[in-house]
Amino acid sequence: MAKSIAQDSLAARLRSNELYAARPLTGSSMESRFSERVVRGLLFICAALSILTTVGIVLILFVETIGFFERVSLWEFLTVTEWTPLFNNAKYGVLPLVAGTMWVAVIAIAVAIPIGLSAAIYLSMYAPRGVRNVIKPALEILAGIPTVVLGYFALTFISPEFVQRVFSDTRLFSALAAGITVGILIIPLISSLSEDALQAVPSGLRDGAYALGATKLEVSTRVMVPAAFSGIAASIILALSRAIGETMIVVLVAGGTPNWSADPRESMQAMTAYIVQISSGDVPRGGVEYQTLFAVGLTLFLITLALNVASYFIVKRFREVYE
């Protein structure tokens, strides 16, 4: 009996679909379909423009970089520890620029991870609604402060009043001061994305842990953070990419000396700072000095691309799917 009723219902639905398909289109239906096609076409054009822009940037970087490596060997570029392309006895080893960039990024992450993750845990687990409504917008405002403002703040306060007093023999322009300032810049990025990841964890996990007698700290560190690890890891890698690509702070605070050194208290030059130096100078177009701009830019692009790919695989590997 039940099988007969199901078959009759299926036959009725099929007849209904056939009647609907055979029904002629009215004027409003045709206009609606035309509008959908126009919207779909516009969205496709926007997506294609973003892809073409990226492809164009990569092509320009590769073409100019190939011209650079026709004059300078790749081995020298990757192994020599001197970077003096504007001097008479030019050296083209990119390692000092990479070292300055990495020092700033590592110090920034060391500053931002504990503060940003702690802020995310507090907002998602401890903060009352009123406090959360104040702290969350404040973090977003911190993320919106222009980096040039943070750079001048570092020059007038962070470097002379904090870094040089706490860390002896630190220069006014140093990778340490730049890293701390960039760390302040990326705190909102880690805290906001990590807090969203923690909020996405099903409440049943939290309630189950409380039911077993766990404290709020144990629930936060042993249940919530591991469950949201993929999102937290992605936020950290994205923040690291942001720190590597930061420009104005490292231009103003890190210094302008390509320095292959293991001491972050010294003045260093990051890759982005060198790009600004060449872009704002009087280097003739087409020369090897001008082409170093694209070689360094491509190196920076490949580093950030590797971090983004690593972020994708980390999220894919550790993502928890709940039903």
Q: What is the pLDDT of residue 14?
A: 47
Report the distance separating Cα 290 and Cα 312, nearest Å.
34
CA distance 182 to 142: 12
Count of alpha carbons within 13 Å of 297, Cβ hemisphere only?
A: 21
Tokens read off for 223: 């249940």
Residues 178 and 247: beta-carbon distance below 8 Å: no
Helix (H) or strand (E) holding 275: helix 271-279
Longest dimension (CA), the chain: 95
pLDDT of amino acid 104:
93
Q: Are 176 and 170 in contact (CB under 8 A)?
A: yes
List strand residue ranges (DSSP E) for the chain, in order.
Answer: none
Hey, what are 282's tokens? 């009087």
Give the pair of three-digit tokens for residue 239. Answer: 């923040």
Quick check: helix, strand or coil at residue 94?
A: coil
CA-to-CA distance for 159 and 135, rounded, in angstroms? 26
Nearest to 252 by CA among 168, 166, 175, 162: 175
**In the prediction, which pLDDT does 20 show?**
44
pLDDT at position 4 is: 53
Write out the chain's pLDDT in tens, 323 residues: 444 544 555 455 545 555 444 455 455 666 677 778 888 889 999 989 989 998 888 898 888 888 888 888 889 888 888 888 877 788 888 999 999 999 999 999 999 999 999 999 998 888 888 888 888 888 888 888 888 999 899 989 998 888 888 888 888 889 999 999 999 999 999 998 898 888 888 888 888 888 888 888 888 888 888 888 888 888 898 899 889 988 889 999 988 888 888 888 899 999 998 888 887 767 777 778 888 889 999 999 999 888 888 878 877 776 665 55
Candidates 215, 272, 214, 268; CA nearest to 243 is 272
Residue 229's Cβ-side half-sphere holds a number of Cα atoms within 13 Å equal to 12
Full DSSP string of 167-195:
STT--SS-HHHHHHHHHHHHHHHHHHHHH
Cβ–Cβ under 8 Å, residues 265 and 176: yes
